[in-house]
Amino acid sequence: MGRICVSTLNQEIYIYIYIYREREREREREREREMAKESVLIDGIPIPTSAVLNTASKQITLKCGQQNKAFLDCKRADPNPERCLEKGQHVTRCVLSLLKELHEKCPKELYAFSKCMDYYGNEFELCRKQQKEFESKCNA
């Protein structure tokens, strides 16, 4: 009977493991590409999930603060919701235009930060690395 060389067998095992890991990495990259496609509306605006809104909260405050204040003042002044619909639409348009702008300017950072926020239940403390990258690249 012939002998099997242990080092040759080990090399083959390492090759199979390497090939398997590469295939898994490619599948993960494909899943991320698919998720990125699904997370965008037709007009190129990211779906405003809680994670996306928390991700862009600082930028929303800076860019849409006046519209939001006008809407809240209207709601305080008049309990009838119909009276403030127009102001609410201004806030919505402002936020959606900001999200579109961020998605065009820095899609990778927006996606990475919002994915982290979604995974960790919108806990900023657990996503500081992604937050730093997002804020350095995506100053609106």
52 and 22 in a single domain? The answer is no
55 and 18 in a single domain? The answer is no
**Within-domain flag for 37:** no
**Domain of 131, in residue numbers:** 47-140
Whether pTM exceeds 0.85: no
The domain total for the chain is: 2
26 and 70 in a single domain? The answer is no
Count of CB atoms within 10 A of residue 63's CB? 18
Contact 74, 87 (CB under 8 A): yes
Contact 99, 56 (CB under 8 A): yes
28 and 51 in a single domain? The answer is no
71 and 13 in a single domain? The answer is no
For the purposes of burial, counting CB atoms within 10 Å of the CB of 130, is it exposed (0-12), middle (13-18) or buried (19 or more)?
buried
Work out the angle at residue 35's Cα, subtended by the Cα atoms of residues 29 and 40, and round it to the nearest 5 degrees: 135
**Within-domain flag for 114:** yes
Cα separation, 65 vs 82, in Å, equals 21
- Each residue's pLDDT, cut to its tens digit, for the chain (140 residues) gives 445 555 666 777 778 788 888 888 888 877 766 655 555 555 666 678 889 999 999 999 999 999 999 999 999 999 888 999 999 999 999 999 999 899 889 989 998 999 999 999 999 999 999 999 999 998 75
Provide the sign of the torsion angle of the four alpha carbons 116, 121, 126, 128, taken in this order. Answer: positive
